[in-house]
Amino acid sequence: MLWPFTVVGGGVGYLIASIPGAMLGALLGQALDRRLHFRSWAEMRERANGRSVPQDDELIFIMLGRLAKSDGRVVDGHIQQARVEMRRLDLGEAAQRRAIQAFNRGKDGRDNLRVHLTRLKTQPHAAEGLLRACWRMAWADGRASRTERELIVLWGKWLGWTADKVEGLSSTEDEQRSRGAPASSGGEFQDALRLLGVKADAEPAQIKRAYRRLLSRHHPDKIAGSGANQIQVRDATEKTRELHHAYAVIRDRRGFR
Protein backbone atom coordinates (compact mmCIF):
# COMPACT_ATOMS: atom_id res chain seq x y z
CA MET A 1 0.00 0.00 0.00
CA LEU A 2 1.56 3.31 -1.13
CA TRP A 3 0.52 5.88 1.46
CA PRO A 4 0.94 9.35 -0.09
CA PHE A 5 2.84 11.28 2.56
CA THR A 6 4.89 8.19 3.41
CA VAL A 7 6.15 8.04 -0.18
CA VAL A 8 6.69 11.77 -0.43
CA GLY A 9 8.41 11.91 2.96
CA GLY A 10 10.71 9.05 2.04
CA GLY A 11 11.62 10.63 -1.28
CA VAL A 12 12.32 14.07 0.15
CA GLY A 13 14.27 12.55 3.03
CA TYR A 14 16.43 10.58 0.60
CA LEU A 15 17.28 13.69 -1.39
CA ILE A 16 18.28 15.52 1.78
CA ALA A 17 20.13 12.84 3.72
CA SER A 18 20.26 9.63 1.68
CA ILE A 19 18.99 6.41 3.31
CA PRO A 20 18.79 7.67 6.92
CA GLY A 21 16.85 10.70 5.69
CA ALA A 22 14.53 8.47 3.65
CA MET A 23 13.76 6.34 6.70
CA LEU A 24 13.05 9.36 8.89
CA GLY A 25 11.00 11.06 6.16
CA ALA A 26 8.93 7.93 5.55
CA LEU A 27 8.28 7.57 9.28
CA LEU A 28 7.10 11.16 9.59
CA GLY A 29 5.03 10.83 6.39
CA GLN A 30 3.31 7.70 7.67
CA ALA A 31 2.41 9.47 10.89
CA LEU A 32 0.79 12.22 8.81
CA ASP A 33 -1.02 9.70 6.59
CA ARG A 34 -2.48 8.00 9.65
CA ARG A 35 -3.52 11.27 11.21
CA LEU A 36 -5.26 12.44 8.03
CA HIS A 37 -6.58 8.93 7.17
CA PHE A 38 -4.91 8.82 3.76
CA ARG A 39 -4.42 5.23 2.57
CA SER A 40 -3.93 5.85 -1.14
CA TRP A 41 -3.33 8.55 -3.73
CA ALA A 42 -6.93 8.11 -4.88
CA GLU A 43 -8.23 8.93 -1.40
CA MET A 44 -5.98 11.99 -1.36
CA ARG A 45 -7.48 13.16 -4.65
CA GLU A 46 -10.98 12.57 -3.29
CA ARG A 47 -10.19 14.77 -0.29
CA ALA A 48 -8.67 17.42 -2.54
CA ASN A 49 -11.93 17.47 -4.51
CA GLY A 50 -13.84 18.17 -1.31
CA ARG A 51 -15.08 14.59 -0.79
CA SER A 52 -14.46 13.40 2.74
CA VAL A 53 -13.50 9.76 3.28
CA PRO A 54 -16.75 8.05 4.40
CA GLN A 55 -16.98 5.99 7.55
CA ASP A 56 -18.35 2.44 7.32
CA ASP A 57 -21.88 3.51 8.31
CA GLU A 58 -21.76 6.27 5.67
CA LEU A 59 -20.32 4.21 2.81
CA ILE A 60 -23.30 1.87 2.73
CA PHE A 61 -25.74 4.78 2.35
CA ILE A 62 -23.61 6.43 -0.34
CA MET A 63 -23.89 3.17 -2.27
CA LEU A 64 -27.64 2.95 -1.64
CA GLY A 65 -28.09 6.54 -2.83
CA ARG A 66 -26.15 5.78 -6.00
CA LEU A 67 -28.33 2.73 -6.65
CA ALA A 68 -31.57 4.59 -5.99
CA LYS A 69 -30.67 7.27 -8.55
CA SER A 70 -29.08 4.88 -11.08
CA ASP A 71 -32.24 4.67 -13.19
CA GLY A 72 -32.73 8.43 -13.09
CA ARG A 73 -35.35 8.86 -10.38
CA VAL A 74 -35.57 8.11 -6.67
CA VAL A 75 -39.00 6.73 -5.75
CA ASP A 76 -40.75 6.37 -2.39
CA GLY A 77 -39.73 2.72 -2.21
CA HIS A 78 -36.09 3.73 -2.22
CA ILE A 79 -36.62 6.22 0.60
CA GLN A 80 -38.51 3.66 2.65
CA GLN A 81 -35.79 1.06 2.09
CA ALA A 82 -33.13 3.52 3.26
CA ARG A 83 -35.13 3.96 6.46
CA VAL A 84 -35.37 0.18 6.84
CA GLU A 85 -31.57 -0.04 6.60
CA MET A 86 -31.22 2.63 9.29
CA ARG A 87 -33.45 0.59 11.59
CA ARG A 88 -31.60 -2.59 10.66
CA LEU A 89 -28.34 -0.95 11.80
CA ASP A 90 -30.02 0.52 14.86
CA LEU A 91 -28.64 3.98 14.11
CA GLY A 92 -29.02 6.74 16.67
CA GLU A 93 -30.31 10.20 15.82
CA ALA A 94 -26.90 11.66 14.93
CA ALA A 95 -25.98 8.58 12.88
CA GLN A 96 -29.30 8.78 11.02
CA ARG A 97 -28.55 12.38 10.02
CA ARG A 98 -25.17 11.26 8.67
CA ALA A 99 -26.86 8.40 6.83
CA ILE A 100 -29.33 10.79 5.16
CA GLN A 101 -26.49 13.08 4.12
CA ALA A 102 -24.55 10.09 2.77
CA PHE A 103 -27.62 8.86 0.84
CA ASN A 104 -28.03 12.28 -0.79
CA ARG A 105 -24.29 12.40 -1.46
CA GLY A 106 -24.51 9.05 -3.21
CA LYS A 107 -27.20 10.33 -5.55
CA ASP A 108 -24.82 12.81 -7.17
CA GLY A 109 -22.57 9.94 -8.26
CA ARG A 110 -19.30 11.80 -7.77
CA ASP A 111 -17.65 9.48 -5.23
CA ASN A 112 -14.96 7.12 -6.46
CA LEU A 113 -16.41 4.06 -4.76
CA ARG A 114 -13.65 1.80 -6.05
CA VAL A 115 -11.22 3.58 -3.73
CA HIS A 116 -13.30 2.72 -0.69
CA LEU A 117 -14.42 -0.78 -1.69
CA THR A 118 -11.04 -2.23 -2.62
CA ARG A 119 -9.81 -1.69 0.93
CA LEU A 120 -12.61 -3.98 2.16
CA LYS A 121 -11.36 -6.98 0.16
CA THR A 122 -9.81 -8.41 3.30
CA GLN A 123 -13.11 -8.08 5.21
CA PRO A 124 -15.46 -10.59 3.52
CA HIS A 125 -18.16 -10.24 6.13
CA ALA A 126 -18.34 -6.47 5.69
CA ALA A 127 -18.41 -6.95 1.92
CA GLU A 128 -21.33 -9.37 2.13
CA GLY A 129 -23.28 -6.98 4.34
CA LEU A 130 -22.81 -4.16 1.84
CA LEU A 131 -23.86 -6.28 -1.13
CA ARG A 132 -26.94 -7.65 0.62
CA ALA A 133 -28.06 -4.12 1.47
CA CYS A 134 -27.53 -3.12 -2.15
CA TRP A 135 -29.73 -5.95 -3.42
CA ARG A 136 -32.45 -4.98 -0.96
CA MET A 137 -32.34 -1.44 -2.34
CA ALA A 138 -32.36 -2.68 -5.93
CA TRP A 139 -35.57 -4.63 -5.26
CA ALA A 140 -37.18 -1.76 -3.31
CA ASP A 141 -39.23 -0.59 -6.31
CA GLY A 142 -40.31 -4.13 -7.19
CA ARG A 143 -37.62 -4.94 -9.74
CA ALA A 144 -33.84 -4.96 -10.03
CA SER A 145 -33.03 -3.16 -13.26
CA ARG A 146 -30.14 -4.00 -15.55
CA THR A 147 -28.34 -0.83 -14.48
CA GLU A 148 -28.71 -1.71 -10.81
CA ARG A 149 -27.52 -5.26 -11.38
CA GLU A 150 -24.48 -4.10 -13.32
CA LEU A 151 -23.57 -1.64 -10.58
CA ILE A 152 -23.83 -4.24 -7.83
CA VAL A 153 -21.81 -6.79 -9.81
CA LEU A 154 -19.15 -4.15 -10.47
CA TRP A 155 -18.97 -3.23 -6.79
CA GLY A 156 -18.74 -6.91 -5.95
CA LYS A 157 -15.79 -7.24 -8.34
CA TRP A 158 -14.01 -4.40 -6.51
CA LEU A 159 -14.70 -6.26 -3.27
CA GLY A 160 -13.10 -9.40 -4.69
CA TRP A 161 -16.32 -11.32 -5.47
CA THR A 162 -17.20 -13.18 -8.67
CA ALA A 163 -20.27 -12.09 -10.63
CA ASP A 164 -22.05 -15.40 -9.94
CA LYS A 165 -21.46 -15.07 -6.22
CA VAL A 166 -22.80 -11.52 -6.20
CA GLU A 167 -25.88 -12.48 -8.24
CA GLY A 168 -26.48 -15.38 -5.86
CA LEU A 169 -27.23 -12.96 -3.03
CA SER A 170 -30.15 -11.54 -4.97
CA SER A 171 -32.37 -14.57 -4.44
CA THR A 172 -32.15 -14.88 -0.66
CA GLU A 173 -35.11 -14.67 1.70
CA ASP A 174 -34.27 -11.06 2.61
CA GLU A 175 -34.66 -9.94 -0.99
CA GLN A 176 -37.92 -11.91 -1.37
CA ARG A 177 -39.37 -10.10 1.62
CA SER A 178 -38.18 -6.76 0.20
CA ARG A 179 -40.12 -7.52 -3.00
CA GLY A 180 -43.20 -8.12 -0.87
CA ALA A 181 -43.46 -11.74 -1.98
CA PRO A 182 -43.70 -14.23 0.87
CA ALA A 183 -41.41 -17.17 0.35
CA SER A 184 -43.13 -20.47 -0.26
CA SER A 185 -42.05 -23.48 1.71
CA GLY A 186 -40.28 -24.82 -1.39
CA GLY A 187 -38.53 -21.53 -2.05
CA GLU A 188 -37.57 -21.20 1.59
CA PHE A 189 -36.09 -24.70 1.55
CA GLN A 190 -34.03 -23.95 -1.57
CA ASP A 191 -32.83 -20.67 -0.05
CA ALA A 192 -31.78 -22.53 3.09
CA LEU A 193 -29.84 -25.06 1.03
CA ARG A 194 -28.04 -22.29 -0.84
CA LEU A 195 -27.19 -20.49 2.38
CA LEU A 196 -25.59 -23.60 3.90
CA GLY A 197 -24.05 -24.64 0.59
CA VAL A 198 -25.50 -28.17 0.62
CA LYS A 199 -27.64 -30.26 -1.74
CA ALA A 200 -31.21 -31.34 -1.02
CA ASP A 201 -30.16 -34.99 -0.70
CA ALA A 202 -27.07 -34.37 1.45
CA GLU A 203 -26.56 -36.60 4.46
CA PRO A 204 -27.68 -35.09 7.81
CA ALA A 205 -24.12 -35.29 9.11
CA GLN A 206 -22.87 -33.27 6.11
CA ILE A 207 -25.58 -30.66 6.65
CA LYS A 208 -24.69 -30.37 10.33
CA ARG A 209 -20.99 -29.93 9.51
CA ALA A 210 -21.76 -27.18 6.98
CA TYR A 211 -24.02 -25.41 9.45
CA ARG A 212 -21.50 -25.57 12.30
CA ARG A 213 -18.64 -24.46 10.05
CA LEU A 214 -20.56 -21.38 8.86
CA LEU A 215 -21.80 -20.65 12.36
CA SER A 216 -18.23 -20.68 13.65
CA ARG A 217 -17.03 -18.44 10.81
CA HIS A 218 -19.75 -15.82 11.28
CA HIS A 219 -20.27 -15.91 15.05
CA PRO A 220 -20.52 -12.32 16.39
CA ASP A 221 -18.13 -13.02 19.27
CA LYS A 222 -15.47 -14.25 16.84
CA ILE A 223 -16.02 -11.28 14.54
CA ALA A 224 -15.81 -8.85 17.45
CA GLY A 225 -12.65 -10.55 18.72
CA SER A 226 -10.96 -10.01 15.35
CA GLY A 227 -11.27 -6.24 15.75
CA ALA A 228 -14.40 -5.74 13.62
CA ASN A 229 -16.40 -2.54 13.93
CA GLN A 230 -19.95 -2.24 15.26
CA ILE A 231 -21.62 -2.56 11.86
CA GLN A 232 -19.69 -5.74 11.05
CA VAL A 233 -20.69 -7.26 14.38
CA ARG A 234 -24.35 -6.43 13.69
CA ASP A 235 -24.05 -8.01 10.24
CA ALA A 236 -22.55 -11.10 11.85
CA THR A 237 -25.44 -11.28 14.30
CA GLU A 238 -27.93 -11.10 11.42
CA LYS A 239 -26.01 -13.73 9.48
CA THR A 240 -26.05 -16.03 12.50
CA ARG A 241 -29.83 -15.66 12.77
CA GLU A 242 -30.15 -16.56 9.08
CA LEU A 243 -28.02 -19.66 9.57
CA HIS A 244 -30.11 -20.78 12.56
CA HIS A 245 -33.29 -20.34 10.55
CA ALA A 246 -31.90 -22.09 7.46
CA TYR A 247 -30.77 -25.08 9.49
CA ALA A 248 -34.17 -25.31 11.18
CA VAL A 249 -35.94 -25.23 7.79
CA ILE A 250 -33.76 -28.02 6.37
CA ARG A 251 -33.98 -30.10 9.53
CA ASP A 252 -37.79 -29.87 9.60
CA ARG A 253 -38.10 -30.70 5.90
CA ARG A 254 -35.68 -33.64 6.09
CA GLY A 255 -37.00 -34.86 9.45
CA PHE A 256 -33.79 -35.19 11.45
CA ARG A 257 -32.67 -33.71 14.75
Homologous superfamily of 185-254 in CATH?
A: DnaJ domain (1.10.287.110)
Would you place residue 185 in the very low, low, confident or very high pLDDT band (cuts 50, 70, 90)? very low
Is the pLDDT higher at 100 or at 17? 100
pLDDT, one tens digit per residue, over 221-240 is 888 777 777 777 778 888 88
pLDDT at 210 over 90: yes
What are the angstrom distances between the C-alpha of 12 and each of 3, 18, 20, 40, 145? Answer: 14, 9, 11, 18, 50
Rounded to an integer, what distance in angstroms lies between the CA atom of residue 234 and that of residue 242?
A: 13
Q: What's the pLDDT at 135?
A: 93
Q: What's the pLDDT at 61?
A: 95
Would you place residue 257 in the very low, low, confident or very high pLDDT band (cuts 50, 70, 90)? confident
Percent of the chain with pLDDT over 90: 27
Would you place residue 183 in the very low, low, confident or very high pLDDT band (cuts 50, 70, 90)? very low
Mean pLDDT confidence for 105-114: 88
pLDDT at 107 over 70: yes
Rg (C-alpha) for the chain, rounded Å, is 21
Of 34-38, 145-149, 200-204, 205-209, the range with the lowest mean pLDDT is 34-38
Would you place residue 173 in the very low, low, confident or very high pLDDT band (cuts 50, 70, 90)? very low
Estimate the crossing angle of helix 124-138 against helix 76-88, to 10 degrees.
Answer: 150
Mean pLDDT confidence for 119-132: 83
Is the pLDDT higher at 210 or at 115? 210
**Residue ranges of domains in the chain:** 4-49, 56-180, 185-254
Would you place residue 181 in the very low, low, confident or very high pLDDT band (cuts 50, 70, 90)? very low
Q: What's the pLDDT at 204?
A: 92
pLDDT at 103 over 60: yes
Q: Write the DSSP assignment of 148-207 as a string of letters.
A: HHHHHHHHHHHTT--HHHHHHGGGSHHHHHHTT-PPPHHHHHHHHHHHHT--TT--HHHH
Is the pLDDT higher at 102 or at 6? 102
Per the prediction, the chain carries an average pLDDT of: 80
Would you place residue 4 in the very low, low, confident or very high pLDDT band (cuts 50, 70, 90)? low
Task: Enumerate the H helices of 91-145 as residue ranges.
Answer: 93-107, 113-118, 124-138
pLDDT, one tens digit per residue, over 53-101 is 567 678 999 999 999 999 998 988 899 899 988 887 778 888 899 999 9
Mean pLDDT confidence for 164-193: 65
